[in-house]
Amino acid sequence: MAGARYSRQLLVLGGGGRRLREAAVLVGGLRGVGAQAAAALVLAGARRVVLHESGAAPGGVQFLQGECGVGQNRAEVSQQLLAALNPDVEVSVHPGELSEEFLAAFQVVLLTESPLEEQLRIGDICHAKGICFIVADAKGLAGQLFCDFGEHFVVRDPVEGDPLCATVQHVSQGNPGIVTCAGADKNRGHRFSDGDLVVFSGVEGMVELNSSEPCPVRVLDAFRLEIGDTSAFSPYRGGGRISEVRPRQEHSYEPLRWALAMPRIQTRSSTELLRSRTLHAAFWALHAFRQQQGRLPQPRAPEDAERVLELAHELGSALGPLDEDVVRAFASVSAGELCPVASFMGALAAQEAMKAITGKFLPLEQWFYFDALECLAVEGAAGLMPEDCAPRGSRYDGQIAVFGADFQEELGRQKYFVVGAGAIGCELLKNFAMMGLAAGPGGDITVTDMDTIARSNLHRQLLFREADVGKPKAEVAAAAVRLINPDIKVTAHQAQLGPGTEKLFGSTFFRRLDGAVSALDTLTARAYLESCCIHSRTALLDTGTEGAKGNVLAMVPPLSQQLEPGSDPADGSFPLCTLRFFPCAIEHTLQWARDEFEGLFQLPAESVNRFLGAWLCRELPEELPQWEGLVVPEQVRRSLQERPRDWGDCVRWARRHWQLRYHNSIAQLLHDVPPSHESSPGVPFWSGDRRCPHPLTFDISNDTHLAYVEAAAHLLAHTYRLPSCGDRVATRDVLCHTVLPPFVPKDGRYVPTVEGVEEVEEALEPGQLLELVQELARWKQELGGGTEAMDPIHYDKDDDLHLSFITAASNLRAENYSIPPADRLTSQRIAGRIVPAIITTTAAVAALACLEVYKLVWRCRDLRCYRNSNLFLSECLLFRIQPLPAPTYRYRGKEWSCWDRLEVRAIGEDGQALTVRELLAWLQEEHGWTVTKLLRGSTMLYDGEEDEEMRARQQAQRLSDGVERCAEPRQLELQYVCAGDELEDACPPLLCTLP
């Protein structure tokens, strides 16, 4: 079960993810940053997480603590809740001093929001002992991250995802040699870049490539690469695989004491470097201010901000010019605590800790700074005074210190819609609870998610526990955030947002919202939500993650452009002839294995059950003629003929099927198209994408052969409701006594090389039909009157048995075609079309979205204050840019925004909906437009080119004709064409409110 918990995470971290289970991490400081980092490390499965904090919690709260823990030691309060997140992890508290002897037991030491003196002391110890050392801090709207992984830190795998690979189609003899290749999707070619190191395998003819050292490539185009000198190699004959090699990297770090004065800051531009150096000096000055004054600067106190600026100039003199406005803004809110900023910095710190443990991804070198000080430029925030931000003795005092008490009340009145209660949804709801969103009069949050909790969710979906597996996500998440903040109002639904739930989430529902947040995992669902928000002009924050990558997009009516629906990526489908006869990549064999699973263990059982239900709900006829019109599906016939009686029958069936798939069918294919066959004179048939296969010989000592038979036998037994046997000795005994007839090829068969060729099933003879009907009758009697004879098995990507079959079936097929096999984890990802996921990315993305929520709550009308974000945690890179403005166009001499609408209350004096004639007259009178065509979706309501009689009938229609009645006011969105507007831009849509 542990594998299921971490499966999505292992797809991100690879084999290095397993090193987490051997690691010990110390987290010092349990305010917001430390709580988020500790939670992420516990969920990720570190073996041991030790918490440390000096003193009690005098004020403020974090999500693990709650109001009842105020005044107690945060580490002690947090330990029990952190331990409940993951039973695999030992979570303990160290109340004493962080001595050199104590620190020696850890691979990673992470200090959060600690005094500089403590950072320097512990940093020196860690650097001397080779312990990876991380410092993370958050103050108000800014955050700081520092890493020291020692002088010789080895990165085992610096890049996200599997190494690139492609199928070789040809290699020229020359200097340089030219490799022609294609990816699994042949139309897209390879994905190599200049300088990538590659190796070759399975090349025929030019076998020298198979034993050559890794060599760099130069990209010529999407299908061709240059490699080294191949002029002296043997001529290329066919086959082969080209694969990326990722060399290990060694990185060297300076200790904090040295890095403080001469910082290496990770930025993308000179502008960012100036801002980051300014923040570096500001954080350093803040430590000095606190040491001098015994406190942080007072919120919005100009004299304190100026003192921090003076200190920044003194301490950061070697850093060059500073942005004084940034220092003042930072200092003025540095006493504040914001959950989104703390969550973001905690997520980044946890990711760097995972890099230190796993050797996966490029670690930070050495400083990273983040700020969202653009929030202070929002109208309303800029003019706050010290008294507006003074503490109220509230759990929100840290937030009030930044945005003021009035803003906090406005947060409580918000109405938000969270679509999706998975990983991002959990983090959003947790942050909302900490922020106090919808925790006041009139506020509410609606969350919907149709899914239930699976074990594979537990490593990243913060609000769920082991006991919640199988329960509705939205309901459990809502209950969990009420424990974090009892004042929050959350309504949960187990419903899928879409046309089928318009009565629940209709236009009235959307118009009452202050905003919506998308935490969905499909582009189709996202596109539907976007259309709803566009129609109702509701602000939308769209979030998404894939592995260590994440993004947030802000759609702010009427300021920003509308979000454009994305297109779903390729669904993994391949041409049928490729899967059946000509696979050349592991993706092909895995899809073939998925089809095998469905064809063996799902579809036959469903066919038998349907057939029994349709035909056997009556007595068996005594004479065959009454049954001559009966059509018996091939799957039903085969299921009856192969029906096992015990475990031995299941094993024998699995062995026969192995022989059919991996020996007989391949031998038949080579009989039909021999290896020497030419598609035209001088052109070998088996070349390029067509890899010549070879049959396999069953070997009971081969683990993959035996794994296939065992998995197939267990699955067959389940479909026929037979008991399974877990005794491998008994299974081997059955296999040893199973004798199969020798294969005899058939002549006259045809191998299709194009789509559209179907196999012809043989017709049943009358005697066979009678035998099958009688067998069905006996089966029906055994059922005791029921019609469900078999249990169909639907593929579950997290089921160990299902995955065992898929992996073995695919790798055997790959061996037939000399394709490199895939490990279990890769097979699970590709066959299950799983999107890799990790807690750090989801937490960081949710935090960035919540920073945009602040601006929406302020009702900010300056697009320059909003940010779209693209996050790459594998390299600790963050891109934040202003959303594009709403486009405008001209129609009929007037400038329109993409958010503009023509709106009409389409209700006549009689209370009925307007007729088409009345609406056309309104458009003529109100705007002077002569409409020649009027449409509702694809339905033509009026066409001026029709004859007079048809136009009269169209004009007499009421706009409500054909529109379903509902409880809330109905709105129609109509499109129209005016006379002479062929050269105009698009016209604004017409919204008609019906009675």
- Catalytic residues, by residue number, are 577
676: left (phi over 0), alpha (psi -120 to 50) or beta: alpha
Residue whose structure tokens are 């490699």: 227
Whether 822 contacts 830, CB under 8 Å: yes
Q: Which of 539, 543, 542 is nearest to 557 (CA)?
A: 539
Instruction: Provide φ and ψ at 573, rounded to 5°.
Output: -80, 145
d(CA 432, CA 384): 23
Q: HSE (CB half, 13 Å, CA atoms) of 547?
A: 18
Whether 196 contacts 137, CB under 8 Å: no
Q: How far apart, in Å, are the Cα atoms of 464 and each of 43, 458, 461, 524, 540?
A: 11, 6, 6, 26, 26
Residue whose structure tokens are 């509705």: 472
DSSP-based three-state secondary structure for 224: strand
d(CA 223, CA 219): 9
- Which tokens is 318 given? 């070697």
d(CA 4, CA 796): 11
Residues 6+ apart with CB under 8 A from 986: 889, 891
d(CA 511, CA 514): 8
d(CA 23, CA 25): 7
Whether 846 contacts 481, CB under 8 Å: no
d(CA 664, CA 686): 19
d(CA 346, CA 39): 9
Backbone Cα Rg of the chain? 33
d(CA 820, CA 369): 43
DSSP result, 755-796: TT--PPPPPPPHHHHHHHHHHHHHHHHHTTT-S--S------
d(CA 178, CA 228): 9
DSSP result, 903-929: EEE-B-TTSSBPBHHHHHHHHHHHH--
Cis amide prior to 158 (ω within 30 degrees): no
| Sheet-wide strand order for 540-546 | 490-493, 444-448, 415-419, 515-518, 540-546, 549-555, 868-872, 877-881
